[in-house]
Structures are given as C-alpha cells and as structure tokens.
Amino acid sequence: NKSAFLCGVMKTYRQREKQGTKVSPSTKGPDEAKIKELLERTNYTLDVTTGQRKYGGPPPESVFSGPQPTIGTEIFVGKIPRDLFEDELVPLFEKAGPIWDLRLMM
C-alpha cells in the first residue's frame, strides 16, 4: 500500500524534525533508468510495496512456457547488501536459469 508507506515516511520525518535530529533526504534506491531497461528487456513487472519489492511472477511466455514451479523449488538468498537491486541481481540470477519471481525484502 503506497499511501501507508508515504504516511510512515512523513511521520518519521516529522518526529525527527521535532527532536532536532538532522533530517537528510534519502538517497537509497535503484537507478530508475536501469530498472526500466531491465523491465523492457524481460517484459516482467515490478511491484513496490512497503517492506518488499516483487519482480516477475509469472514470467511472460517468451521467457518461460513450462509448467508452474512446484512446492520446494524456491531458493532463499540471504545477506544481500541493501544497496543491491533488481538491475544487478536479475542478470546474476539469470545465469542459473529463468526466474519465476523475485522478492527483495527491504
């Protein structure tokens, strides 16, 4: 829910401002041009919500036309640096095979 996320950001900003803590603009985030290029190349979708980013699922027919993956085919990758996003992770993971979907927890 984008509105809940924005309300949370505004609330945090106001609280820090009242406490006298220096409020710096957030510079975290992926390069939008690279993300758009990736989405155009793969024809996948990207859904950004509070706490996570969902890429793909299910993939377009041009990428994967087989049956839906069954239970037990999910892979967990931990300890991913917080400054890595889909534009860098997807090409790396595609070396292993087609991606059904990818969730980045923020």
Is 52 in contact with 106 (CB distance < 8 Å)?
A: yes
Q: What's the average model confidence in pLDDT over 53-78?
A: 87
Distance CA 8, CA 26 (A): 14
Is 82 in contact with 33 (CB distance < 8 Å)?
A: no
Per-residue pLDDT at 10: 83
Per-residue pLDDT at 24: 60
* Whole-number average pLDDT of the chain: 86
Per-residue pLDDT at 21: 64
Distance CA 101, CA 57 (A): 4
pTM of the model: 0.70
Per-residue pLDDT at 98: 86
Q: What's the average model confidence in pLDDT over 79-104?
A: 93
- What is the Cα gyration radius of the chain? 17
Token pair for residue 65? 């036309």
Per-residue pLDDT at 19: 79
The domain limits of the chain are 29-105
pLDDT band at 106 (very low <50, low <70, confident <90, very high): confident
